[in-house]
Amino acid sequence: MRHAKYFSIFVFTAVLGYGAVAFYFLPLATFQGELTRMALLPESLFGWTKPQPALDVKWMQQASMQEADVLVIGDSFSDSRVWQSVLTQHGLKVRTESWDGMRGICADFMPWLRTQGYTGKYVVLESIERNLVDDLSKSVACLHMQYHPNRMTDAPRSPPVVSFDTNQGNYAGKLSTGLETQLNALKYEHLSSAPGFKSWLLPNDVKLARVPNGCELFSHARCNDALFLSYDKAEEVDAGAFGNIEKLNVRLSGITPIWVFVPNKSTAYLYPNKQFWNEAERRFQAPNLLRMTQQAVQAKTIDLYLANNTHFSTAGYLLMGEEIYKAMQQAQPQKISR
């Protein structure tokens, strides 16, 4: 009986001690970036610290299909409507749809588009590098439009935050997550201090990698290293994509397509010598976003992509918007702003 009592006291004390320690580290489980959340690494190490440009929400308004000058079909790089603010500041009205909603550029896309009341001259087709081959293949295989409107399509968007406190956490998460984040931080400090450290493969498809001249390119505390998706490829983009673009351009007769391919973050910082963007520019006048990223890197642009995220920063999005606007001007030499 006495042993059972002592055992109960021991278990209670152990649970209480675990709870106290885990509660102490719980604020570490407050994540601002998707990659820090996936990897369970603290924002105090990988959260960006340089303020980003402020964006007025009036430039992020969604136009109806009937009033739009430009239709954008894209993924998460377009959903925030940040890069589109460059176009709206030039007087253009922009409507943004997602690939999930549109399902693709099907064989009957142009008749369908005209029945929606769209009278604009431009369709911007945006895909992130890791998905572009599949996005193009799905479109080529699609015969009939099956538009699935999403209730969020026309919902207002908020401007991206200008800054955040990397050390300001809360106690809303799971106790175990805060403790695991602290253990990962300790493991990172140990691994990254070793001579010749290059990378660390974490759970949930995250890779931490040393970036050449990283502290000239990022503002987070451990600026020599950044987080990436582990399944991004170092190899060149499949050249078969070009044939599919040609097929889709035939379907887009009567309108000006602007093909926009966003480099993976890993391509921009770790594998920058890919030639897909040069060829896409040569053959289809696609904005060369890889060249844009490399010029920004050479100019030591801080936080072009955010260290804790797979996406551009606000500054990066605005550069992207300028490249797309220039491509539109070149595709249609006359003045396009209204």
CA 215 to chain centre: 21
Q: Which residue is it, tokens 């015969």? A: 143
Q: Give the whole-angstrom CA distance, residue 245 versus residue 228.
A: 28
Q: Is residue 229 part of a domain?
A: no
pLDDT score, position 333: 43
Tokens of 313: 């920063």
Q: What pTM does this model have? A: 0.90
Tokens of 180: 């695991």
pLDDT tens, residue by residue, 244-298? 999 999 999 999 999 999 999 999 999 999 999 999 999 999 999 999 999 999 9
pLDDT score, position 328: 97
Q: 18-32, 109-123, 219-233, 299-313: lowest mean pLDDT where?
A: 18-32
Q: Is residue 268 part of a domain?
A: no
- Determine the average pLDDT of the residues in 223-233: 98
DSSP state of 286: -
195-199, long-range: CB < 8 A, 24+ apart: none
Nearest alpha-carbon partner for 84 in 335, 338, 333, 323? 323
Dihedral angle of Cα 194, 307, 29, 80, to the nearest 10 degrees = -160
- Determine the average pLDDT of the residues in 54-64: 98
List all residues 6 or more positions away from 128 whose beta carbon is below 8 Å from its beta carbon. 75, 76, 77, 261, 262, 264
pLDDT score, position 175: 53
pLDDT tens, residue by residue, 204-217? 999 999 999 999 99
Q: Is residue 296 part of a domain?
A: no
Q: How many CB atoms lie within 10 A of CB 143?
A: 9
Q: Is residue 256 part of a domain?
A: yes
Q: Is residue 181 part of a domain?
A: no
For the purposes of burial, counting CB atoms within 10 Å of the CB of 128, is it exposed (0-12), middle (13-18) or buried (19 or more)? buried
CATH of the domain at 76: 3.40.50
- Please give the tally of structural domains in the chain: 1
Q: Give the whole-angstrom CA distance, residue 264 versus residue 310.
A: 8
Q: Is residue 127 part of a domain?
A: yes
Q: Is residue 259 part of a domain?
A: yes
Q: Is residue 144 part of a domain?
A: yes
CA distances (Å), origin 325, targets 52, 89, 121: 21, 11, 13
pLDDT score, position 178: 72
**pLDDT interval class at 31 (50, 70, 90):** confident
Question: What is the residue range of 78's domain?
Answer: 57-161+236-263+274-287+316-331
